[in-house]
């Protein structure tokens, strides 16, 4: 373990820099890690002063110094202060930050990468072919067997963990994108994720796609043709996978402790219950990368950016998970 953690600032015209600084101010006293903050240094320095946090931010000039909070600009020039929300320059810088963060993880310089929110549509408008951070980092890393997991705790401390078979595609295309290999992969990665956080024998619930898990084929046949064979195949390999189960009840049972993780077939099937349970503290964890990557489970929130009122709880949770996973890999 290097004792270094990278944080990409995301779209600096959103709340990413603010929740990053607030989270570091709350968390850094509990560890002796060094943090590489990848994004425009000027935005962070000004915000550090405005928030009165007084974090000792220093420009990154190599790992020889003992400074803990290091600033690394992914571009050659600083960004113009007071950019409009979602400006192309901010979108370009967000993509460059992700690229640089992933590359430094791949070189073994960082134990983990935490990524602040970006705005997909603005990145696309800036000229990038961009689906999401999970997909972008998978491409940079050359990782083809990845999945997105969202997780969080409710007010009673109960965890809900949800892995997705499909992510950022239109709902009308979901059924054709659900294949047996994809379902098997999501089950396998969900089980490994549970083991990574200390659950030795995880029990994985697998959602059906259709209402009531298809009602024995009356409401669709994907459960019979694709999902059930995937569950059976992973069980044959020793995984404790159960399903397909009806999506309208399985999350209740998972939150109650019957399952350690749920595999959902599409984005909103999994994220709606997760955000109902852990809206302020949810975490996005990319499974299957050759390095650890987590992020807060919220967007850029342009409407409150720069006002000093952004809640850092989700970023705090993302930092804590990244540190836990890094320790567990030693």
180: nearest Cα among 236, 120, 97, 119: 236
Domains of the chain: residue spans and CATH: 1-143+289-330 (3.40.718.10), 147-288 (3.40.718.10)
35: nearest Cα among 90, 91, 101: 101
Strands of the sheet with 69-72, listed across from one edge: 57-59, 69-72, 34-38, 4-8, 112-115, 292-296, 283-287, 147-153, 159-164, 261-264, 203-207, 240-245
Over residues 294-299, the mean pLDDT reads 95
165-222 pLDDT, tens digit per residue, is 999 899 999 999 999 999 999 999 999 999 999 999 999 999 999 999 888 888 899 9
Question: 330 pLDDT exceeds 80?
Answer: no
Of 128-137, 184-193, 245-254, the range with the lowest mean pLDDT is 128-137
Locus of tokens 């083991």? 195
The model's pTM is 0.94
36-81 pLDDT, tens digit per residue, is 999 999 999 999 999 999 999 999 999 998 899 999 999 878 898 8
Q: Is the peptide bond before 209 cis (omega within 30 degrees of 0)?
A: no
Q: What contacts 150, CB < 8 A, 6 or more positions away? A: 161, 162, 164, 270, 271, 274, 282, 283, 284, 285, 297
By the 8 A CB rule, do 39 and 73 touch?
A: yes
Helix (H) or strand (E) segment spanning residue 235: helix 228-236
Give the three-class secondary structure for 7. Answer: strand
Report d(CA 26, CA 203) in Å as an integer. Answer: 34
By the 8 A CB rule, do 123 and 95 touch?
A: yes
């Amino acid at each position: 373990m290097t004792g270094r953690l990278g944080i990409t600032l995301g779209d600096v015209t959103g709340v990413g820099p603010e929740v990053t600084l607030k989270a570091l101010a709350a968390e850094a006293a509990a560890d002796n890690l060094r943090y590489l903050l990848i994004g425009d240094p000027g935005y962070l320095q000004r915000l550090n002063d405005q928030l009165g946090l007084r974090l000792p931010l220093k420009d990154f000039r190599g790992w020889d110094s003992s400074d803990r909070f290091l600033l690394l600009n992914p571009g050659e020039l600083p960004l113009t202060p007071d950019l409009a929300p979602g400006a192309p320059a901010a979108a370009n810088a967000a993509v460059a930050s992700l690229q640089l963060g992933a590359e430094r993880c791949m070189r073994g310089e960082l134990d983990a990468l935490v990524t602040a929110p970006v705005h997909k549509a603005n990145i696309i408008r800036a000229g990038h072919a961009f689906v999401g951070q999970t997909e972008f980092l998978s491409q940079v890393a050359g990782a083809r067997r990845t999945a997105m997991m969202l997780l969080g705790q409710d007010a009673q401390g109960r965890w809900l963990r949800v892995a997705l078979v499909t992510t950022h595609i239109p709902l009308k295309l979901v059924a054709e994108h659900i294949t047996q290999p994809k379902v098997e992969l999501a089950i396998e990665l969900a089980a490994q994720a549970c083991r990574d956080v200390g659950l030795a024998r995880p029990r994985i619930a697998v959602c059906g796609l259709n209402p009531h898990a298809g009602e024995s084929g009356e409401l669709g046949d994907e459960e019979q043709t694709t999902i059930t064979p995937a569950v059976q195949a992973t069980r044959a390999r020793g995984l404790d996978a159960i399903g397909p189960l009806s999506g309208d009840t399985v999350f209740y049972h998972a939150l109650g402790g019957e399952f350690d993780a749920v595999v959902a077939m599409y984005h909103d099937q999994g994220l709606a219950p997760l955000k109902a349970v852990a809206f302020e503290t949810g975490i996005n964890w990319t499974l299957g990368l050759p390095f650890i990557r987590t992020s807060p489970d919220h967007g850029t929130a342009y409407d409150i950016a720069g006002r000093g009122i952004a809640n850092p709880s989700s970023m705090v949770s993302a930092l804590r998970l990244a540190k836990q996973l890094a320790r567990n890999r030693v």
